Amino acid sequence: MAKKNATAPAAAVVKIQQNGVTRPKDGTTTGRVWAISDEISAKKGEPADRKTVIEQVVAEGINASTGATQYGKWRKFHGLVGEASPGRAAKPADATPPAPPAPEAPAAPAATEETGE
């Protein structure tokens, strides 16, 4: 006689995705970098700058490279392009991407002259 598994099915994890980037889970190292970025942004009233985020990340014992990578993903998630200079707000991404370049016309075969020799 087979015994039935009495555990309930796991709840589906809701993943938040914007601009092609998925927000990391709370409670993870990468999630903490995002939380730091959110906290600094809320304090300043504008997007957090890279230097401040990295300083806080390192102060909390998180690798600077992890902080830098996640800060870039955080900016992309929020649609921010380019690096904001201190005192200057970041520019939001355009809603429409640029059109791809037009394909080049195929080259015509090279004409050869016959000299009759």
DSSP string, 92-116: EPPSSPPPPPPPPPPPPPPP-----
Over 60: is that where the pLDDT of 90 sits? no
d(CA 31, CA 18): 15
- Tell me the per-residue pLDDT of 33-60, one tens digit each, with 9 for 90 and over: 999 999 999 999 999 999 999 999 999 9
What is the chain's alpha carbon radius of gyration, rounded to the nearest angstrom? 26
Sign of CA dihedral 67, 83, 79, 52: positive
Going by pLDDT thresholds of 50, 70 and 90, the confidence category of residue 31 is: very high
Cα 27 to Cα 24, 30, 31, 50, distances in angstroms: 9, 8, 6, 21
* For residue 97, pLDDT beyond 60: no
Residues 12-24 have pLDDT tens digits of: 778 999 999 999 9
CB 64, CB 53: distance < 8 Å: no
Residues 6+ apart with CB under 8 A from 62: 29, 32, 33
Q: What is the pLDDT of residue 108?
A: 63
- The answer on pLDDT for 85 being more than 60 is no
Is the backbone of residue 42 left (phi > 0), alpha (psi -120 to 50) or beta?
alpha
